[in-house]
């Protein structure tokens, strides 16, 4: 019997040296650990009897310690955590320590820290996004991350796989968000619970890497363990532009066994919007058209790519953000920000009245509280109650949509079909 992408990679990582199948429990070697929110990892070591932090590291080249969630730190406690991370990175000789503005997941691919065919874990749920470049990746807890830090391995159950064949025409604007929102609306936000999702089909091969990263990133929003794409020339070009390290892509066997196969004609639907307060509360954009907005946001690990910002800048060129609307845009990393500056996109956004934020994860929650009486449309990851203001703002209305839909709403002052502003 053939193997899925997840089964192939986990067979290679199995410390027992045997091929595995869905349902097997294995002790797996990891290729890399993303470590963020370092205070949680350090607390795990303190509880284990190591008050001075990790005493060792399994491989100083394969632990990627980043302070991006707290950069710059907003409290004394976070500043102290950042200091401890710098000190521990120096003490342990970590080769890949970063304390810069940006989203860790974009930074992981920007700096070539994760590559096709690898098995990578991180103490953040959106670690799953690396499946967009053919890496088997998933989020783990901070206690687990502390263990991996020291030993480079962890127990995993090999998941069953759902194959999703994407067909239809490639769009001249980012459409990945609409695809995953449509899937969530059609099948629910738990249809992938515990599964590996393999995205295939002609459209999956036609779309760019940024769109693949968006879909893989959101696989966790439908409960998946992994969200995976195959590798092709686009993947290889993307990786080789960022690192000269070798990589070995992995493809599923033609006779691999799947728990379910979903065929999705992406020409059968257009722009999608998730209404408050669930990722799967999805409707076509026309059903919520006319909804007044107070705030719009574009960024995050899901949609802070260059391509996402480019479409907003293109739509805003010669136009203005609607009076009374605050439109926040945050590139996902410093390299993305620099490319946007070089190509004039930031100037276009500023001319239109956009408030450009530093790269980072803060776009998902701050800047700018969304009050109970306000409405926000966002290309970020989640829209549950209090996501953008805490328990005191649990009635704030947060809609999720693709970058084009967000930009169109910012121009119109209300949710609208972005085709009105797209030259396609």
Q: Give residue 406's pLDDT.
A: 98
Q: Give residue 404's pLDDT.
A: 98
CATH topology of 5-264 equal to that of 272-420? yes
Rg (CA), the chain: 21
Residues in the chain with pLDDT values less than 50: none
Q: Give residue 368's pLDDT.
A: 76
> What pTM was estimated for this model as a whole?
0.97
Q: What is the pLDDT of residues 67-104, one digit of tens each?
A: 888 778 888 998 999 999 999 999 999 999 999 999 99
CB 266 within 8 A of CB 175: yes
Homologous superfamily of the 272-420 domain (CATH): Aconitase, domain 3 (3.30.499.10)
32-35 and 63-66 strand pairing: parallel
Q: Give residue 69's pLDDT.
A: 80
Q: Give residue 78's pLDDT.
A: 87
Domain ranges of the chain: 5-264, 272-420
- Order across the sheet with 119-122: list the strands: 96-98, 63-66, 32-35, 119-122, 136-139
Work out the angle between the directed axes of helices 233-240 and 209-218 (0-180°, nearest 10).
90
Q: What is the pLDDT of residues 221-246, one digit of tens each?
A: 999 999 999 999 999 999 999 999 99
Work out the angle between the directed axes of helices 38-47 and 76-92 (0-180°, nearest 10).
70
CB 367 within 8 A of CB 275: no
Dihedral sign for Cα 34, 133, 307, 192, please. negative
Was domain 5-264 assigned CATH 3.30.499.10? yes
């Amino acid at each position: 019997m053939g193997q899925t992408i997840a089964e192939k990679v986990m067979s290679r990582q199995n410390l027992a040296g045997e091929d595995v199948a869905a349902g097997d429990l294995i002790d797996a070697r990891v290729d890399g650990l993303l470590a963020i929110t370092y205070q949680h990892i350090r607390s795990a070591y303190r509880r284990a009897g190591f008050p001075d932090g990790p005493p060792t590291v399994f491989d100083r080249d394969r632990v990627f310690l980043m302070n991006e969630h707290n950069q710059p730190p907003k409290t004394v406690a976070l500043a102290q955590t950042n200091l401890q991370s710098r000190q521990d990175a120096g003490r342990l000789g970590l080769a890949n320590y970063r304390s810069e503005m940006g989203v860790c997941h974009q930074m992981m691919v920007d700096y070539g820290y994760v590559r096709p065919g690898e098995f990578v874990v991180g103490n953040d749920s959106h670690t799953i996004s690396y499946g967009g470049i053919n890496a088997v990746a998933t989020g783990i807890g901070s206690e687990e991350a502390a263990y991996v830090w020291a030993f480079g391995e962890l127990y995993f159950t090999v998941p069953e796989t759902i194959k999703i064949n994407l067909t239809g025409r490639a769009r001249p604007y980012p459409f990945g968000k609409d695809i995953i929102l449509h899937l969530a609306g059609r099948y629910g936000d738990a249809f992938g619970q515990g599964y590996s999702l393999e995205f295939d089909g002609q459209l999956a091969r036609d779309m760019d890497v940024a769109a693949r990263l968006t879909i893989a990133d959101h696989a966790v929003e439908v409960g998946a363990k992994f969200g995976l794409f195959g590798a092709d020339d686009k993947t290889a070009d993307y990786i080789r532009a960022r690192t000269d390290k070798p990589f070995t892509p992995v493809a599923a066997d033609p006779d691999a066994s799947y728990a379910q196969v979903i065929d999705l004609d992406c020409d059968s639907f257009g722009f999608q919007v998730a209404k408050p307060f669930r990722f799967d509360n999805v409707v076509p954009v026309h059903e919520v058209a006319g909804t007044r907005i107070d705030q719009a946001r574009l960024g995050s690990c899901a949609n802070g790519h260059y391509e996402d910002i480019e479409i907003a800048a293109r739509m805003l060129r010669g136009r203005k953000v609607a009076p009374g609307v605050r439109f926040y845009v945050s590139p996902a990393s410093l390299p993305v920000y620099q490319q946007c500056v070089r190509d004039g996109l930031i100037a276009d956004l500023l001319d239109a009245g956009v408030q450009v934020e530093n790269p980072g994860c803060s776009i998902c929650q701050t800047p700018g509280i969304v009050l109970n009486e306000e409405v926000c449309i966002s290309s970020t990851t989640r829209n549950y109650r209090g996501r953008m203001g805490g328990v005191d703002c649990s009635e704030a209305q947060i809609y999720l949509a693709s970058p084009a839909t967000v930009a169109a709403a910012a121009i119109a002052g209300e949710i609208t079909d972005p085709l009105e502003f797209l030259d396609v």
